[in-house]
Structure 1
């Protein structure tokens, strides 16, 4: 088979029509994706006519997943634009073949990327197709876990905040070990204890409005769950993984499972670890943008409009996705990042010229106001001196050239 070389394309290119059948995602494709990911079972009416007759049918949740399906379509389009019209040697040529890769990942979460290629593709040894195989695997991984496993997809992300150091899934690494490396657990003091006094104090100090007003920080959407709550101290940007409907579907799968499961066991069910999904969801809806606070809701609504955040961020759900005791969340995956944000609020990174100069001189951020006052006083002093000199010159001119009466 003849190989194809994948080259970087911009998202603008994805808006041009593609000749590949993969470029179109239909309602059947969306339902097929939900079956492959989360094992959805649709009612008989859905299967027969596409019109749902039961309130309990999962098809009723498809509208809330609109942003997630839109992201999946962009991922598929990024692949289909590299295919020639009706090319026969493409690694995959249908959505169902992508779903098959997802099913293999679920059934064998300990599989290596090399073994996955041998099992999933017709000619895994063709070196000319290796980059295309990596692209398809990355697409399946992203659909299942919402993390990037290949730099190619990362560079073509809709919201790319400059973090291109995310690791690739190497050929000889089991899938679950790759994910464990992305999400290490650390019991961070303060955020690791859900009932401690320090937890409530830290939590109340890092709401979105305070981070903007006191810290001069801003928020940007990210499509990579592993980048959630990452703070870029140089730019003052906090990345927010905003696909909350996706997180809720993961939580529905594991709601009735009592024992704690690791990444490998969770992936077999088509879900992220429950603790991970809860932390990501609650850090948005209970800490950064607490939906009980009208000002936080207003801020989140503005981000939905201005920054294209998923509108589902504004929908709080409890009984459908939470166990009775899951009211306060410990932060074992994202505690260190929350603490990093809190530290930035307490010890802001200098970003303006005066702030950086003060930092270099060792004056500290607390003395910036004093420095500004000294500069202003110096300016006023120079202006006063200039006016005094001008008045002296006028007086000297009047003495030297008196006006005869």
Structure 2
């Protein structure tokens, strides 16, 4: 097959529908995706009538996963639209082929990207085909783990605050090692400890409403788990991984498993490492937007409407996804980022003109109020001087040109 290099097309630019079979997602495609990811088994009502008849059937959770499946459709539509406009053939032409890639990665998380491509597609005939194979594998990886493994997919995503240059899954690197490298464990003092005094103090101070009110920060949704809680100090934007329904499905898989599981073992089950999923979920629902706080719920509702956050963020679940001892989460993956947010609140980054000038001059934030007061006093002084001069000019005009008949 002759290959043509794929050019990135932003998702928001796809105004015309693609005619590719990949762009047509049906309920059957959705159900096939969940079977491949999590081994879902649907009841007869779901399979034949489209109506779930069993309380224990996973089909009951289909509505809560609507935002996640919508993201999957956007990614596949972007890929199929790109193919339609830039080449005549494709490495894959159906959703089932993507699902098979997911199953192979789950079965052998130790596989390298090169070995995976060769096993599924054979040897590429040219660089264009090899690049396209990487993109297709990236689709499967994104659906399975919600992380980007290729620059093409990351460029096609909508980013408000994201890092457009993200790590790629290199050809000779095992998949579990690539994933593990995205999430280094850092035992940060405070957030890495079990309910320490410093933890509770820091936790109380970085709720969403305080970050907005005191820190002048804002929030943007991200569909890349590796970008969760990233703070852009220049813009004051914090990225939030908002696909909480996806996280809950991962936690259901690893619940009641005996003993701790490594990254490779978790991926073999089609799940994120349990600690990672718990931290991502609890950092949203217990720290940044604590659902026990009405103001946090109101803020989150606004973000759902205005920023496109997953509505499932507002649903708190415990018994179905947690072990009895999983009440206070240690933050070994995201502790450093939470601490970075706390530090930003304590030592705000200067963003306005006056703040940046004060920082350069070494005045610091403590003197900004003094600088503003001096500036205001100077302005008032100039205004007063101007008014005095104007009054003097009027008096001089009256003396020079007296009105006739005046004494």
Structure 1-normalised TM-score?
0.96
- Residue 397 of structure 1: CA displacement? 3.6
| Structure 2 residue aligned with 1:251 | 251
SS of residue matched to 1:65 = helix
| Structure 2 residue aligned with 1:110 | 110
Q: Which segment is superposed worse, 26-35 or 235-244?
A: 26-35
Matched residue count: 404
**Residues 26-57 of structure 1: CA distance to partner in whole angstroms, max 9, x if unpaired?**
11111111111111122234334443221111
**Residues 162, 222 of structure 2: 8 Å contact kept:** no
2:260 and 2:362 map into 1 onto residues whose CA distance is 49
**Residues 130-172 of structure 1: CA distance to partner in whole angstroms, max 9, x if unpaired?**
1211110110010000001111111111344241121111111
CA pair 394-90 structure 1, distance change in 2 beyond 3 A:
closer
**Residues 91, 122 of structure 1: 8 Å contact kept:** no
CA pair 15-261 structure 1, distance change in 2 beyond 3 A:
farther
| Structure 1 residue aligned with 2:274 | 274
Q: How does 1:254-265 map to 2 (within 5 A)?
A: 254-265=254-265
SS of residue matched to 1:81 = helix
- Residue 15 of structure 1: CA displacement? 4.0
| Structure 1 residue aligned with 2:199 | 199
2:295 and 2:375 map into 1 onto residues whose CA distance is 37
2:358 and 2:146 map into 1 onto residues whose CA distance is 41
CA pair 29-220 structure 1, distance change in 2 beyond 3 A:
same
**Residues 86-141 of structure 1: CA distance to partner in whole angstroms, max 9, x if unpaired?**
x9842111111101111111111111111110011144354331121111011001
| Structure 2 residue aligned with 1:157 | 157
**Residues 251, 277 of structure 1: 8 Å contact kept:** yes
**Residues 8, 82 of structure 2: 8 Å contact kept:** no
SS of residue matched to 1:82 = helix
- Residue 319 of structure 1: CA displacement? 0.2
| Structure 2 residue aligned with 1:296 | 296
| Structure 1 residue aligned with 2:387 | 387
Q: How does 1:30-69 map to 2 (within 5 A)?
A: 30-69=30-69
| Structure 2 residue aligned with 1:331 | 331
2:401 and 2:39 map into 1 onto residues whose CA distance is 100
2:41 and 2:88 map into 1 onto residues whose CA distance is 33
**Residues 154, 160 of structure 1: 8 Å contact kept:** no
- Residue 388 of structure 1: CA displacement? 2.0
1:124 and 1:57 map into 2 onto residues whose CA distance is 42
- Residue 25 of structure 1: CA displacement? 1.1
Q: Which segment is superposed worse, 374-383 or 295-304?
A: 374-383
| Structure 2 residue aligned with 1:142 | 142
- Residue 239 of structure 1: CA displacement? 0.3
Q: Which segment is superposed worse, 322-331 or 123-132?
A: 123-132
1:263 and 1:198 map into 2 onto residues whose CA distance is 29
For structure 1, which runs of at least 5 residues remain unmatched after alignment?
A: none
- Residue 403 of structure 1: CA displacement? 4.9
Q: Which segment is superposed worse, 384-393 or 235-244?
A: 384-393
For structure 2, which runs of at least 5 residues remain unmatched after alignment?
A: none
| Structure 1 residue aligned with 2:238 | 238
Q: RMSD value over aligned CA atoms?
A: 1.7
Corresponding position: 1:23 with 2:20: no
Q: Which segment is superposed worse, 301-310 or 394-403?
A: 394-403
**Residues 14, 74 of structure 1: 8 Å contact kept:** no
SS of residue matched to 2:14 = helix
1:15 and 1:39 map into 2 onto residues whose CA distance is 34
1:153 and 1:103 map into 2 onto residues whose CA distance is 20
| Structure 2 residue aligned with 1:368 | 368
SS of residue matched to 1:359 = helix
CA pair 293-212 structure 1, distance change in 2 beyond 3 A:
same
| Structure 2 residue aligned with 1:133 | 133
**Residues 68, 243 of structure 2: 8 Å contact kept:** yes
| Structure 1 residue aligned with 2:306 | 306
